[in-house]
Structure 1
Amino acid sequence: MQTILKIRKQLSSIIIALLLISCNSNMVFDQYQSIDNHEWPSGAKLDFIVPNLDTISSKNVFINIRNNKDYEFSSLFLITKIEFPSGFQVVDTLEYEMTDASGKWLGSGFTDIKENKLFYKENVVFSEKGDYKFMIQQATRSIQDIEGKEPLKGITNVGLSIEKVKK
């Protein structure tokens, strides 16, 4: 009986430690959207609405991509847009490497799912109060699919996270 209590106490301590380590007090926003059937159509835009209550602190913005072994490209092309509360918009076309030169997946994860935390905007201040709308759309094409009619396979989730810059 005492052994069971000792094991429970140790497990409780480990769980509490993991929770404390995993908590990120600098995290401002962290949200994911699932991709249906792991097939992301080129016209499908993913929107993230971020309320801004802090107009002073510098922040880093990340695009988070989870992919499985069905992803067939070494890089990922995205079109992003930030719409400010005033209506001002910033549009970017981005390219991220998903594999190294030998074809090994980048990102973290021990299973078939890899997670990539990709820098999008670094050290920015969102100076307008109100809601910021972030839009992410894939723009990856194969040679056979130059018109973008085929969905991008192997992307399981797309996320956006915003963290205060550590001082």
Structure 2
Amino acid sequence: MHSFLRGFVVLASGLLLTACDPAEVYEKNLDLTSPAGDPYVWAVQNKPTFEFEITDPAPLYDVFLNVRNTADYSYYNLYARMTLTGPDGRVISRKLHDMNLMDPKTGEPLGNGSGDIFDHRILALPSQEFSQTGTYRIQLEQYMRQDQLPGIMAVGVRVARHEAGK
């Protein structure tokens, strides 16, 4: 029964992250496994890549990083490097993000979730300008100085039109 409940929580959390939003341009999340096939491990050599189309370069966009972690994750934060590449192959942005997944003082999990699974949507590039139409690429790398990082279930990217005041 416990695995059924866990599966339900994962499904419900996934539905919350992908609820219909007219501003959304792209969203994709990838489950992580170690090279040996162990679930919920982000290996340093695993660099998930996400490709999305920009058809209208006029508006500004917000780029979010999605992270799903278990309560067993050993750290309060997660360092991840995000590289954004344009349709012409040039790097537009390369940033190291320090994302708090738990309160550093209390250890209480942050994000949405219940039980032992938590979802986070972190604004990584606010008001990003995409100057040309075409396919953009985002690559993520974990930067935690640990080859195999257990407790990270999935990572993803969300791109949405920037809405002033939100």
Q: TM-score, normalised by structure 1?
A: 0.80
What pairs with 1:109-124 in structure 2 (closer than 5 Å)? 109-124=113-128
Looking at structure 2, the residues matched to 23 and 43 of structure 1 have their Cα atoms a distance apart, in angstroms, of: 33
Of 126, 129, 138, which aligns to 1:134?
Answer: 138
Q: Is the 8 A contact 2:61 2:127 kept in 1?
A: yes
Structure 1 residue corresponding to 2:88, chosen from 77, 86, 89: 86
Equivalent position to 1:43, from 42, 45, 51: 45
Q: CA deviation at 1:57?
A: 0.9
CA distance in 1, matches of 2:123, 2:162: 13
Contact 2:71 2:109 in 1 (8 A): no
C-alpha RMSD of the superposition: 1.6
Mind listing any 5+ residue stretches in structure 1 that lack a counterpart?
1-18, 142-147
1 CA distance for matches of 2:160 and 2:94?
21
Give CA deviations for 1:93-130 in whole Å, capped at 9, x if unaligned: 11111111210011011121100101110011211111
Alignment partner, residue 145 of structure 1 = none
Distance between the aligned counterparts of 1:156 and 1:116, measured in 2?
12
Amino acid at match of 2:156: G
The alpha-carbon deviation at position 72 of structure 1 amounts to 0.4
Instruction: Tell me the matched-pair count.
Output: 141
Distance in 1 of aligned mates of 2:95 and 2:127:
17
Within the candidate set 155, 159, 163, 2:160 is matched to: 163
Residue from 25, 28, 47 that aligns with 1:28: 25
Aligned twin of 2:58: 56
Query: Are 1:74 and 2:76 an aligned pair?
Result: yes
Kindly indicate whether the alpha-carbon contact (under 8 Å) linking 2:61 and 2:129 is maintained by their aligned counterparts in 1. Answer: yes
In structure 2, give the amino acid aligned to 1:92: K
What is the identity percentage for the equivalent residue pairs of Structure 1 and Structure 2?
25
The structure where helix makes up a greater share of residues is 1
Distance between the aligned counterparts of 1:91 and 1:44, measured in 2?
17
Equivalent residue, structure 2, for 1:11: none
Q: TM-score, normalised by structure 2?
A: 0.80
Question: Per the alignment, in what secondary structure is the counterpart of residue 29 of structure 1?
Answer: strand
Q: Would you tell me which structure has more strand in proportion to its own residues?
A: 2
Structure 2, unpaired ranges of 5+: 1-15, 34-38
Q: Distance in 1 between matches of 2:54 and 2:45?
A: 28
* Residue number in structure 2 paired with 1:95: 98
Runs of 4+ displaced beyond 4 Å: none
Q: CA–CA distance in 2 between the matches of 1:91 and 1:166?
A: 24
